[in-house]
Amino acid sequence: MKIKNMPIAFRARSIALGLLVFLPLAGIGTSLSANIEGAYTAVTPTIEQARANILISRQLQFTHFRDQAINDELADEVFDDYLDYLDGQRVYLTQEDIRDFQPLKAEMAAALRTGQLQPGFEIYNRVQQRIIERMDYALGLLDDGLDQFDFSSDDEILLDRSETEWEPDQEALDKLWNKRIRNAVLGQRLNGSGDDEIIEVLTRRYESQRKRVSQMRSEDAFQAYMNAFTGTWDPHTNYFSPRNSENFNINMSLSLEGIGAVLQSDNEYTKVVRLVPGGPAARQGQLGPADRIVSVKQEDDDTPTNVIGWRLDEVVDLIRGPRGSTVTLEVVPANASDETVTRSIDIKRDKVKLEEQSASSEVIELERNGEKYLIGVIDIPTFYADFQAMQQGDPNYKSTTRDVRRLLEKLRNEQNVDGLVVDLRNNGGGALHEANDLVGLFIDQGPTVQIRSSDNQVQVLSDQDPSVAWDGPMVVLVNRMSASASEIFAGAIQDYGRGLVVGSQTFGKGTVQAVRSLNHGQLKITQSKFYRVSGGSTQHRGVIPDIEIPSRVDTTRIGEDALERALPWDQIEAVPHTRYFDFSGMIDELRDRHASRFDESPEFRLLQQEIDFLREQRKTTMVSLNEDQRRDYQQQLEHRQLTIANARREIKGEEPFESFEAMEEYEEQQAAEAHGNEDDELDFIVREGGHIMADMLELDRRMASILPVDTVTAKAE
């Protein structure tokens, strides 16, 4: 089936810490390497890695924002996270293996403090051997042909095994893998593949995974182990190997030349976090957040390369390529019913051009009770600045603030707009100083954001320019993908009472990282947190809109509060700031009017149908291994998707699709023409932002030019 669409006091822990690296590297725990036979060559730690382990331990204890000790309790978390990384779906190890690991777990705290890497390497080697055994078992089943499998039973398979126990022994694991193979075969059959093609595709997949394991190096084990360690502080603290340190931010490397996507590891998969505005993937329109990459194919290759189980940097290297060439990604869509449901996406590689990320404007005209309102809309895809041109003294260098100031002058002086909508949906952030300067376009002057470091010192960034580019009313549109600098801007506008925030709860990325060099690689470590001028942090909670609009995005999978061990929300003292308008007297009426419009809006009803459909799919925990039942289930899904697609076409005055296949063909054609899938949600939500603006003007004409009313000094509530 294809789917389209704290203060930390620096204190001495051990003055002899630096000498402990010379202890024997294999001196902890009972060695498990003896269980590893010729199929896999066990990897071993190096002296350089042991020294790096000690440096990482020091940095985490003495400079991270979160103050915690390396003790047995933390070691238990490292152990669990490490196993989650290596076998998150509980499909390789057994309970027997877990029992074998217990002596290593008991000594892990001391080992992490002193650079004794053997516990992590022993576990890593055992898992790699188990993966090879599973691949051999799967390939053996395929060699025997598909006729051996029963597709008429009432068997089911659990889609997400991350919360289950490991199987008790190899026999139970064999039964599980028999189900996994049947599920994979069914998925291919429902995609229209014949049995011979299915055997070829699955054989290639499992052989690729097996080959990848046989090529594992010491650095693979060390990086996995250290990231399980650093991740117990927070999800944004990471270790980068020397190879990755050449471009430590792998997430952003694809935005330079490639497809323009931010990626991260997610168990065996590489997952899309977000798309870079103006990038090839965003323009193409089919790849989306939370999609998981299964394979990568170059345009001159006949067969794709399966990348399940690959390191993130290796997947990045495959996706990168010459500008103008095409790469094909096979992905499991975020809304897929199970991991066997994939789609192929062709993306032409290119550079992300600054002008394609630039702020832009338009004017929408609304007629309300015989009166016309002109609403200016400024779309800001990211917070950008041409640093090179700035350093060279170019007086015309591009930046978010400079571009928005120019757009505001045109909207105010030439187009005479009555109100303003600033669209920050899908804006993942960018240059912090641009967020600070952009706030300054809408206030006289004053603080914009507070930054609290690990030593409890608070720095306040402020707008020092008393000039105001827009003093009229405004609405800021946000969604779950609005993060970091976007949250700083939206939070400041909300705290100052300069406008209303409309949309869905933002991402909640309110931490600041620094990169520190080690003797071997680098450590990206969280050292600060952002706080609003009202004192509340943007971390974890993000910005809560004044008027909420539901979103398709699954907040259980995307957002800071969906990440393990994300730093919590907290608050500090507010800093004095001006309050321009008190919306409390009209907010209830604004919400009522908004709700009435949405009750009558076909676009909103359609959006709600999509949200309900996706929510139902997410609730599906088991799928049938009965082929007839599975086909019926697929037909139901396809019917729901076709109904929603045709409802959208009806709203646009277009002819409905006659079949699901016709819908797929149309969407593939749209993608091939680089149009992407049109997103009607964007248009009607922008329009709704304009209506909310018109409501504000109707309810209080004083908003035509907002002036300061008081100064806020109290602590945030």
User: In the structure encoding, which two tokens stand for residue 540, read together?
Assistant: 């974890």
| Contact indicator for 283, 259 with CB cutoff of 8 Å | no
CA-CA distance, 201 to 501, in Å (whole number)? 49
Three-state secondary-structure class, residue 378? strand
CA-CA distance, 269 to 253, in Å (whole number)? 18
User: In the structure encoding, which two tokens stand for residue 36, read together?
Assistant: 């590893």
User: In the structure encoding, which two tokens stand for residue 68, read together?
Assistant: 């915690």
| Contact indicator for 228, 85 with CB cutoff of 8 Å | yes
Q: Annotate 696-710 with DSSP letters as a single string.
A: HHHH-GGGGS----E
CA-CA distance, 320 to 329, in Å (whole number)? 12
Q: Which segments of 534-601 does DSSP mark as H helices, in order? A: 587-600
CA-CA distance, 243 to 247, in Å (whole number)? 8
H or E stretch at 420? strand 419-423
| Contact indicator for 432, 485 with CB cutoff of 8 Å | yes
Of residues 76, 49, 31, 34, the one with CA closest to residue 220: 49
CA-CA distance, 205 to 210, in Å (whole number)? 9
| Contact indicator for 462, 490 with CB cutoff of 8 Å | no
CA-CA distance, 233 to 272, in Å (whole number)? 23
The DSSP call for residue 584 is G
Classify strands 500-503 and 474-478 as parallel, antiparallel or unpaired: parallel
Distant-in-sequence, close-in-space partners of 648: CB < 8 Å, separation ≥ 6: 606, 680
Sign, Cα dihedral of 533, 537, 539, 542: negative
CA-CA distance, 327 to 673, in Å (whole number)? 15
| Contact indicator for 226, 53 with CB cutoff of 8 Å | yes
CA-CA distance, 441 to 461, in Å (whole number)? 15
Active site residues per annotation: 484, 495, 509
Helices 195-214/170-190 angle, 10° precision:
130
